[in-house]
Amino acid sequence: MPSPPTPAARRLGGASVVFLALAAATPLTVVTAVVPGAYADSGLLALPVLFAGLGLLMLVFTAGYTGMIRRGAGPGALYTFIARGLGRPAGVGAAWLALLSYNALQIGLYGVVGAAAAPLADVEWWVAAGACWLVVAVCGMLGLTRTAWLPAVLVVAGLGVAVAYAVANLLDPAGGRLAWTALDPARLADVSRPVLGLLLLVGAFAFVGIETTAAYAEDVHAPRRATSRAAVLSVLLLTVLYAASSWAMTVAAGPGRIVAAATARGPELAFDLAAARLAPWAVSLGRVLVVAGLLAAMMALHHTIARYVVALGRDRVLSAGLAAPRPASFTQSLAAGLVIGVCAAFRLDPVESLGRRLAVGGSLGVLLLLLATSLAALLLLNRRPDGEGIWRRFVAPSVSTVGFGALAYLAYLQFPDLVTAALATVVLGVVYGVVLRFVRPVIYAGIGLGGNAVVVAPSTLTLPRPRSPGAHRPERVNRLAG
């Protein structure tokens, strides 16, 4: 079997992987929309502490995650890790869930960006969503090597705006003095446990995207080191950004007025605070970059999905014709375009029908994948330590497994139907993997190997017994012995 082709022939730098992971997380959208919504719906003042705690959990997860990357990373990412740690059927189930989850996230963002861009361009939402779909589809066909600069530029601009807003809020605090109340961990007890559980889920969803770094292992120089460092760096950047921005909002609005202001203004709160401290063009630029950040997120998710499809095509779990980047990219674009067209034909609400439900469902699916990856790292790294220390192979995977397990339980309490649908997808994938074991054993043996050659020996093979030297010439043996 020839060596499998690489999507971009290792031409990207590690910084590009960081920007792609940050793009998938949509940081500017989280700062301008999710954070004010969390203040308004929960009344919790200690939101920065919650983001810091979740960032710490994500950092613990990256310890085992990077250990798995060092044992071989490829475009299959979490699918490959779970197949090696929990078995091939579980890997197929994880692959199905990954495709469903990332497609749900991307298609949900099409609804959100359509609703956000339609008033700016004075068009129907599906026209704006279709224009973004066309850009993503063309960039996908051109390849990541030629288009990686676009999401990188959009992410850098969005991060710059978020940092500028936070700095402006801190330099001009309400009442003329900095308020540190939001940084008090004791404030987490101000809300009930169900509300705190929902906030933990929302905060965890804000980090979805950091796990995509391993999917670009074949696109960068020194893939194991670059993707590992990219995962850690993206978690650190998001943690600092979310915690600092949410704290800066309480400083600018005042700790006693942040909940009322967020309830009254919603997503406009971030722009209202910026308008009182910065030039009008900075506010307009922020609004435009929110839409641009969503476009960057759709591009990053598109490349992630295409790489999962490539990995499954190489392993023959999907059609072998999808083992190349362009057919995989075209297939993903076609699926997204059909969903957008159906929603436009039936006049479905872009935010409710596409945005929120699909985004929540996709984030829940990724959360379950992180749980399975932590468990796979715990089992595989201890089964084959290969020089890994006790922290990376046991402590960190154990802590992240318990942490993501608790989040999965909270998710089931809040969204039982969506969690059930995700688990049903996994079960169907596991059943398909078991069927492959008996019907196509060669394909089954290659699951998670990235298209490498597999040699399967029949279990009933009988090997001939070795003959004694010279048994066919007893007279010669006797003569030499004598």
State the Cα–Cα distance between residues 274 and 328, nearest whole angstrom.
42
pLDDT in tens, 101-116: 999 999 999 988 888 8
Number of other CB atoms surrounding residue 2 within 10 Å = 6
Asked if pLDDT for residue 440 goes beyond 60, the answer is yes
**pLDDT grade for 7, boundaries at 50, 70 and 90:** very low
Q: In 3D, which of 175, 201, 173 has the Cα closest to residue 408? A: 201
Contact between 314 and 52 under an 8 Å Cβ cutoff? The reply is no
Number of other CB atoms surrounding residue 361 within 10 Å = 20
Radius of gyration over alpha carbons of the chain, in Å?
26
pLDDT in tens, 107-150: 999 988 888 887 777 788 888 889 999 999 999 999 888 888 99
The amino acid sitting at 434 is V
Beta bridge partners of 12: 220
Asked if pLDDT for residue 472 goes beyond 60, the answer is no
pLDDT at residue 5, rounded to an integer: 46
Contact between 202 and 38 under an 8 Å Cβ cutoff? The reply is yes
pLDDT at residue 465, rounded to an integer: 63
Contact between 99 and 313 under an 8 Å Cβ cutoff? The reply is no
Kindly state the average pLDDT of the residues 192-215: 91
pLDDT at residue 121, rounded to an integer: 73
State the Cα–Cα distance between residues 135 and 133, nearest whole angstrom.
5
Q: In 3D, which of 88, 135, 202 has the Cα closest to residue 446? A: 88
State the Cα–Cα distance between residues 213 and 21, nearest whole angstrom.
6
Asked if pLDDT for residue 171 goes beyond 60, the answer is yes
pLDDT at residue 347, rounded to an integer: 83
Q: Mean pLDDT in the chain?
A: 87
What are residue 12's phi and psi, to 5 degrees?
-90, 155
**CA 349 vs CA 112, 139, 211: distances in Å:** 10, 27, 30
Q: In 3D, which of 346, 345, 307, 344 has the Cα closest to residue 328? A: 307
Percentage of the chain modeled with pLDDT above 70: 91
